[in-house]
Structure 1
Amino acid sequence: MRFTHRAETFPVNTPAAAQIFTVVLSQGPLTRLELARRAGLSPAAVTKAVRPLIEAGYLVEDADEEARPALGRPANLVRVDGGRALFLGIKVTGDEIIGVLTDLCCRIRAARHVPLTDRDLKVVLAATADVVQELLVEADGLGVGVLGLGIAVSGDVDRGAGVVRYSPFLEWRDVPLAELAATTTGLPVTVDNDVRALTVAEQWFGAGAGLSDFAVVTVGAGIGCGLVVHGKVVAGAHGVAGEIGHVTVDPAGPLCHCGNRGCVEAIAGDAAILRRIRETTGVDVPDTASAVRLARRGVPGAREAYARAGEAIGRGIATVANLLGPERVIISGEGLAAHDLFAEQIRDAFAAAAFGSAAQCDVQTRPLPFEEWARGAAATAIQSFIRADTQGAP
């Protein structure tokens, strides 16, 4: 099944225009003078880039009455018209598809959750198509075109090629997902690793806006890390930069599914915590919600498992801080539902392991609803649209 959509490209395909628009999108509204300063461009270059974006309706100017000088007209603030375009984001997990419809400022306008009964590629594509169709109906009601679709999955993802190289949760290898999804939906498609997608959302629309260097650490089924270095999300030469989950913090620790011992994920991932609680308490805890309840009731083995997880996460974050010196580390993910059980251990382990001024890194916890993973996927679609690097379009 193919869907109709409004084909449209970003009106000014130059690096300067993309840079200026991105600055306004993530840090605006701004005066043209302030925009020039933050973008590191001349006022003339800003004016040249802004004019066609205003004419196309992507930017608007509003008078800033508070900035009125003693004589003359008030300064004008340039801002993005979020309602100018819509985008879709899809997060595929092992048992669910989460879809969101966002505006150009990545504000969620509608969301859908659909259970997955099978991880077979054809089943996932069909379920994705159903979610896309539902969200396109929502978009029709808003009378605005959908200009791109982002899909986020865990694992080794080559965004440039639009290929999922390996996703352990989905048991996929070398899947050309961008091409297949574009054929199915008729939309330009961007495919990226879920943690990197969440990092893009934080960089442009969240706690990383305006920062040149920061990291996003996600806690839950796995332990992930997205890195922003000198303003760019880093994937590395082989697409696995930021694999904090497989940093060894205890060489004598439990065996990790990667084959090594004492990885952060082998101690602090959901499955590792459940396994530890079963070993130390003899209680057959079926899921993380049960584990959290045990720990909050004060069961020693359960509390110890979470404390141990917090220590491993803190050491992993310290490794990131020592290597890259980020201004901020944002801790997020579904595992933060149990944040009260290990926050102190994260802070203490980080402080103990961070070297010198790396300890000054601002470590923030940012619990986010699960739709934020899909919103991250939408953010990658917005990014591709602006930077004209979308792959997989039919």
Structure 2
Amino acid sequence: MTSLASGESVFTIVLSHGPLTRAQIAGRTGLSAAAVTKAVRPLMAAGYLVEGPGEGSRALGRPATLVRVDAGAAFFVGVKVTGDEIIAVLTDLCCRVRAAARLPLTGRAPERVLPVLTELVRELLTEADGFGVAVRGLGIAVSGDVDVDSAEGMVRYSPFLEWREVPLAGIAGTATGLPVTVENDVRALTVAEQWFGAGVGLDSFALVTVGAGIGCGLVVHGRVVSGAHGVAGELGHVSIDPDGPPCYCGNRGCVEAVAADPAIVRAVREVTGRPVTTPAEALELARAGDRGARQVYAAAGQAIGRAIGSVVNLLGPERVVISGEGLAAYDLFADGIRDAFAAAAFGTAAQCDVVTRPLPFEEWARGAAATAIQSFIGSATSATPVTSKEQSGVHQ
């Protein structure tokens, strides 16, 4: 492990669990005391980590020295782009939201989205000026296939935005003057949940989002998984019925073709003959007791439950968190999810903790800010390799 990776690991541990003593950091990361010191040193020199005596340790004699993140040392902007609007937040280094703003979109083409995004970022830069803290990075979360290893932050394909090969980080960086990190929106939200939400302290968990699409973020051995080609976790395009409805990806019976909002609206319209055009209208019809509409939601729940069962069988996460705007209809498909999951999960995999967690889009934007913080801390950490003796751990 290089000190670059060690620095990111140490920062994340202190951010999520701190303040901590250096010994506690070593215990949580598996690094030796020497490796912790080497990882902490550049972050302290830059002012991002600070230390001081902890409270409540007087009875032990010498007060423990705790390391913590200095929240006010830097600010960041996080942006979530949907098909209809852009939501942006200003956060501190602890990823606490200091200000938020949103603006509607008049179109989904990049030339329509970028001016709105730039306007929101400038508004939050003005807010940061009021705090007297510099903004060090911009994180942008979009749906679809994002090449996180591309220098241009390339959005390979975003079906909801109808984007292909858009070098978003390069364009946004030129427009805003900030270092830009671009990430898939579900993976960005997964980072936020790992740091501050339902995934804190877990070695492995999955975040399944239900709404305009069906997404899945995966954490394995404490790290968010993006895969070799950046498309790990595409749960929405797992085919559960080869004879099912067609999906825009070209296959049939994908989870997204059954359980995403557009699929539900389309199916409710077909089975009821009503001119339903929005998820809210479909939901209202089902809640009014329409049998056909309720059957559509039940089928959606079964599709989601089977998909979650597949994730649990393959990866064995400690927890599955269900979130997304589609949770507004959770009461209608909860039984379907539970029954299908129980049938699909193999053996003790059925003991996986499955929870729901409604999250507003500001939390998705906060996740985008978290990815910007990750990039920033990575660049702020020395790349000098840690020796094999230093990384051997404290339990020797």
Q: Note if 1:120 corresponds to 2:115.
A: no
Q: Note if 1:377 corresponds to 2:368.
A: yes
Spell out the pairing of 1:181-330 with structure 2 (5 A cutoff): 181-330=172-321
SS at match of 2:274: coil
**1: distance between equivalents of 2:368 and 2:195?**
13
In the alignment, is the contact (CA less than 8 A) between 2:80 and 2:361 conserved in 1? no
Spell out the pairing of 1:152-163 with structure 2 (5 A cutoff): 152-161=141-150, 162-163=153-154
Give the TM-score of the pair, scaled to structure 1.
0.91
In the alignment, is the contact (CA less than 8 A) between 1:13 and 1:388 conserved in 2? no
Match of 1:22 among 3, 6, 12: 12
The letter for the 2-side match of 1:23 is: I
Q: 1:8 maps to what in 2?
A: none
Q: 1:73 maps to what in 2?
A: 62
Q: 2:121 maps to what in 1?
A: 132
In the alignment, is the contact (CA less than 8 A) between 2:208 and 2:322 conserved in 1? yes
**2: distance between equivalents of 1:205 and 1:115?**
28
Q: 2:78 maps to what in 1?
A: 89
Q: 1:108 maps to what in 2?
A: 97
SS at match of 1:236: coil
Instruction: Indicate the structure whose relative CO is greater, using CA pairs within 8 Å and at least 6 residues apart.
Output: 2
Q: 1:60 maps to what in 2?
A: 50
Give the TM-score of the pair, scaled to structure 2.
0.91
C-alpha displacement of 1:45: 2.9
**2: distance between equivalents of 1:110 and 1:182?**
21
C-alpha displacement of 1:202: 1.3
C-alpha displacement of 1:359: 1.2
Q: Note if 1:36 corresponds to 2:4.
A: no
**Unaligned stretches of 5+ residues in structure 1:** 1-11
**2: distance between equivalents of 1:66 and 1:152?**
41
**2: distance between equivalents of 1:21 and 1:128?**
29
The letter for the 2-side match of 1:65 is: E
The letter for the 2-side match of 1:35 is: I
The letter for the 1-side match of 2:299 is: R
SS at match of 2:56: helix
In the alignment, is the contact (CA less than 8 A) between 1:28 and 1:79 conserved in 2? yes
Q: 2:132 maps to what in 1?
A: 143
More displaced 10-residue stretch of structure 1: 246-255 or 123-132: 246-255
**2: distance between equivalents of 1:272 and 1:134?**
36
C-alpha displacement of 1:68: 4.0
More displaced 10-residue stretch of structure 1: 45-54 or 171-180: 45-54
More displaced 10-residue stretch of structure 1: 114-123 or 49-58: 49-58
**1: distance between equivalents of 2:74 and 2:303?**
42
C-alpha displacement of 1:299: 1.6
**Unaligned stretches of 5+ residues in structure 2:** 382-396
Match of 1:47 among 26, 37, 41: 37
**1: distance between equivalents of 2:108 and 2:43?**
42
In the alignment, is the contact (CA less than 8 A) between 1:106 and 1:205 conserved in 2? no
In the alignment, is the contact (CA less than 8 A) between 1:13 and 1:387 conserved in 2? no
RMSD: 1.9
Residue by residue over 1:262-307, the C-alpha shift from the partner in whole angstroms, topping out at 9 and shown as x without a partner, is: 1111110001111111122222122111222222222211211111
The percentage of aligned residue pairs carrying the same residue is: 71
